[in-house]
Amino acid sequence: QQQVKQSPQSLIVQKGGISIINCAYENTAFDYFPWYQQFPGKGPALLIAIRPDVSEKKEGRFTISFNKSAKQFSLHIMDSQPGDSATYFCAASLSQGGSEKLVFGKGTKLTVNP
């Protein structure tokens, strides 16, 4: 119930295309859903996040779509660029006793070809 399942494991997209990464969760108590972007040799960095009271959030070329009834959320990268090539992690948080713990998906390695 604590797991977040992420797919696909890897994704190859042409420059200008749309990249879509999907995540699913079981625990309905999760109340915060961030996406992290990680470049090789670096720590993950927050890209965009959503809370379950919103069905969609957009920041530039990055959009999170959230489907509460299906317990799924996805990241869409519009007009994908070679600089977007990185590993993307979805996550969900569960507040227990005031301490938020993030549960991560296993990651998606995105390659954007020029």
Footprint on this chain of other proteins (rule: CB under 8 A): 2, 6, 32, 34, 36, 41-46, 49, 89, 95, 98-102, 104-107
- 36 CB-side CA count, 13 A: 17
**Residue 28 Cβ vs other proteins, minimum distance, rounded to whole Å:** 18
Which of 23, 112 has the CB closer to other proteins? Answer: 23
Please choose, from the candidates 53, 81, 49, the residue with its C-alpha nearest in 3D space to the C-alpha of residue 64.
Answer: 49
Give, as one character, the DSSP assignment of residue 98.
Answer: T
Which of 11, 32 has the CB closer to other proteins? Answer: 32
Looking up tokens 């007009």 gives 79
